[in-house]
A and B are shown apart, each in its own frame.
Chain A
Amino acid sequence: AQSVTQLDSHVSVSEGTPVLLRCNYSSSYSPSLFWYVQHPNKGLQLLLKYTSAATLVKGINGFEAEFKKSETSFHLTKPSAHMSDAAEYFCVVSVTSSGGYNKLIFGAGTRLAVHP
């Protein structure tokens, strides 16, 4: 079964320093992977997606993620954290049902705190 594991439940960084949120996936074939962000009292929003094209994926707000098949990883990075980046981040894999439609399976989430 396809799944994702987020390796850190909480990450704390200082404003202006790099961000690294780690995600490993489990899949028997090339997966479709995503990062979603959830700000307090806001709906989940897509940050970026990997669908077997370029392995380095750029998303919104300066975030990017690199698909590494050899490491089964899809870590999310940003060169310089901003206070507004404080939120919950979810690594997500798309699975295809026997009926041919897709649904998203979420990791447990990583809460990112950004300090002045």
Chain B
Amino acid sequence: DTGVSQDPRHKITKRGQNVTFRCDPISEHNRLYWYRQTLGQGPEFLTYFQNEAQLEKSRLLSDRFSAERPKGSFSTLEIQRTEQGDSAMYLCASSLALAYTGELFFGEGSRLTVL
């Protein structure tokens, strides 16, 4: 399968713990996005990378959240000191820059439950 893959698919953690999600985009895609989706809502933009550069961070991304894309390939999203309000589906998507047509290729998401 050559689509966007995310790991883990499900994570249950206790409040205050740190969690990290990984995203492997489609190999030739140099744009990578993170979105968050809560129950009954559409995905909300969190952050965007072009190659290894993080070009935008949403106000939703508090200082407890950090995202990296160290070599312009896979990306990680870390949440420190998790809170119950962080419970959501975290979606990763990728696309090509030069041929951007609005189509983002999404992974199946990482569902976080904070107890």
Where the two chains meet, the residues of A that have a C-beta atom closer than 8 Å to any C-beta of B are 9, 32, 34, 41-46, 49, 51, 90, 92, 94, 97, 99, 101-109
Contact = CB atoms under 8 A, between A and B. Distances in A.
A101 B50 contact: yes
Interface stretch (B13-21, B67-75, B102-110): B102-110
A47 to B, nearest CB: 10
A90 B91 CA distance: 15
A104 to B, nearest CB: 6
B102 A101 contact: no
B56 A97 contact: yes
Contacts of A99: 55-56
B45 A103 contact: yes
A101 B28 CA distance: 18
Interface residues of B, number: 28
B89 to A, nearest CB: 10
**Residue of B101, B104, B107 most packed against chain A (CB within 10 A):** B104
B83 to A, nearest CB: 23
Contact of B101 (A44, A49, A101): A49
B41 interface: yes
Contact of A106 (B31, B43, B101): B43
B102 A104 contact: yes
